[in-house]
Amino acid sequence: MRDRIYLSSPHMSGNELKYIEKVFESNYIAPLGEYVDKFEQSVKNYTGAKNALAVINATSAIHLALRVLGVGEGDDVLVSTFTFIGSVTPVLYQGANPVFIDSDKESWNMSAKLLNKYLLTCDKKPKALILTHLYGMSADIKKITEICKLHGVFLIEDAAESLGATYDSQHTGTFGDLGVYSFNGNKILTTSGGGILVSENKEYIKKAKYYATQAREDEIHYEHLEYGYNYRMSNVLAAIGVAQMEVLEERVNKKRKIFEWYKEFLADNDNIEFMSELDNSRGNRWLTALRLKNIDYHDVIEALNKINVESRPLWKPMHMQVLFKDSKSYLDGTSENIFANGICLASSTTMSKDDVKAICEVILCC
Ligand SMILES: *Cc1c(COP(=O)(O)O)cnc(C)c1O
């Protein structure tokens, strides 16, 4: 049998080893060094972000964002309920309370309408909002940015899945006060593990860098006024990141092509509804996501597993998690409905059209 096809496997550009060798030649295996700067620069160049900080993963980047914005004990922080747990755990690290906002039917991302309604009626004003661009598809980011400004709520964009996605030609991650990208093993690009924090605000990134390096004061000895974390990215991993950034546009195009293939082979099927792309936006289609009607997703996952192909249910909404049973939420049933019959399909950029065809044939037999 051929190798297993994963949802989104790492896909090297070919230059990674070359750059890692350069790191070894310079003996700069330690965190920080030339490639960390280069990696940050390449993300800035590509996304148009003004300032960037490379860290160990996107979860720590979100944590730094909250810390920089002064979110702490007892604060309320709004978050997309339809997301991965890494969006939310940093809120807990800060002793703050997540408040979950439901999705809208069109984009599956956070509903701007519900968000606005909540902010108009809530007793306690939230300090910040963490907005996920789900499966690499841009949320209604312009409207949500406006709402946050209007209500004086800081906006952190969780663009962990959406590197390369744009709205009105502006990159997701660059609309908010701060934004994060993930370079985890399953994302569109990977450094095996890594994250980038971006902001227009230079002071935020300077402060984040300070917290990410154990909050060490600028003295010859080790002087500490506050506590920080050990969150900075290693020069070795940054070298991988530089090589990966070189092929980002290629990877986005391939992901979008895989989606088009799925659409082609599953066309005109009333039982299938794909996650849509908002007007004026370009998603990176990190994972092709769809809803199944009259088909049980367990059957599809099992049938695909038999041909050695990975597929999964969509993220289980956070308000449905036992961990958050006592948390506040503002819901209208949308994410629960999508989760009930939603599935994400293998979308690795190494896949061929024949792979997609074989997967679709299995789905159509379920
Ligand atoms: C992957 C992911 C994260 C966490 O990223 P790491 O780099 O693995 O910490 C956070 N939020 C979302 C939406 C993700 O998909």
Atom of ligand 1 nearest to the CA of 86: 10
pLDDT in tens, 150-201: 999 999 999 999 999 999 999 999 999 999 999 999 999 999 999 999 999 9
Please choose, from the candidates 208, 177, 233, the residue with its C-alpha nearest in 3D space to the C-alpha of residue 39: 233
Catalytic residue among 187, 207, 209, 255: 187
Q: What is the CATH number of the domain that holds 217?
A: 3.40.640.10
The answer on 257 and 162 residing in a single domain is: no
The answer on 214 and 316 residing in a single domain is: no
Residue 1 lies in a domain: no
Residue 5 lies in a domain: no
Q: Which of 245, 269, 301 is the last residue of a domain?
A: 245
Residue 278 lies in a domain: yes
What pLDDT does 30 receive? 62
pLDDT at residue 220 tops 90:
yes
83 CA → ligand 1 middle, Å? 9
Residue 228 lies in a domain: yes
Place 29 in a pLDDT band, splitting at 50, 70 and 90.
low
The answer on 328 and 254 residing in a single domain is: yes
The answer on 296 and 204 residing in a single domain is: no
Q: Whose CA is nearest to atom 1 of ligand 1?
A: 160
Place 2 in a pLDDT band, splitting at 50, 70 and 90.
confident
pLDDT in tens, 49-97: 999 999 999 999 999 999 999 999 999 999 999 999 999 999 999 999 9
The answer on 296 and 201 residing in a single domain is: no
Residue 7 lies in a domain: no
The answer on 333 and 346 residing in a single domain is: yes
pLDDT in tens, 284-306: 999 999 999 999 999 999 999 99
What pLDDT does 58 receive? 98
Q: Whose CA is nearest to atom 10 of ligand 1?
A: 86
62 CA → ligand 1 middle, Å? 9
Residues having CB within 6 Å of any atom of ligand 1? 57-59, 83-84, 86-87, 132, 158, 160-161, 182, 184, 195
Predicted TM-score (pTM) of the model is 0.97
Q: Which of 220, 245, 270 is the last residue of a domain?
A: 245
**Hey, which residues does 329 pair with through a beta bridge?**
100
Domain residue limits at 37:
16-245
Sign of torsion over alpha carbons 275, 278, 279, 285: negative
The answer on 259 and 232 residing in a single domain is: no
The answer on 261 and 234 residing in a single domain is: no
Q: Which of 43, 79, 84 to mutate to test the pocket of ligand 1 (most atoms within 8 A of CB)?
A: 84
The answer on 323 and 212 residing in a single domain is: no
Question: Measured between alpha carbons, how far is residue 275 from residues 20, 101, 114, 286 in Å?
Answer: 38, 19, 20, 12
pLDDT at residue 31 tops 80:
no
Count: domains in the chain: 2
The answer on 123 and 55 residing in a single domain is: yes
Average pLDDT of the chain, as a whole number: 96
Count of Cβ atoms closer than 10 Å to residue 307 Cβ: 15
Q: Whose CA is nearest to atom 8 of ligand 1?
A: 184
What pLDDT does 26 receive? 81
The answer on 315 and 195 residing in a single domain is: no
pLDDT in tens, 94-121: 999 999 999 999 999 999 999 999 999 9
What pLDDT does 28 receive? 64
Residue 9 lies in a domain: no
Residue 219 lies in a domain: yes
Residue 155 lies in a domain: yes
As a whole number of angstroms, the distance between CA 40 and CA 255 comes to 24
What pLDDT does 234 receive? 93
Q: Whose CA is nearest to atom 13 of ligand 1?
A: 84
Q: Which of 245, 266, 290 is the last residue of a domain?
A: 245
Place 269 in a pLDDT band, splitting at 50, 70 and 90.
confident
pLDDT in tens, 330-360: 999 999 999 999 999 999 999 999 999 999 9
The answer on 260 and 198 residing in a single domain is: no
Q: What is the CATH number of the domain that holds 349?
A: 3.90.1150.10
Active site residue 202: no
Query: Across residues 264-291, what is the average pLDDT?
Result: 95
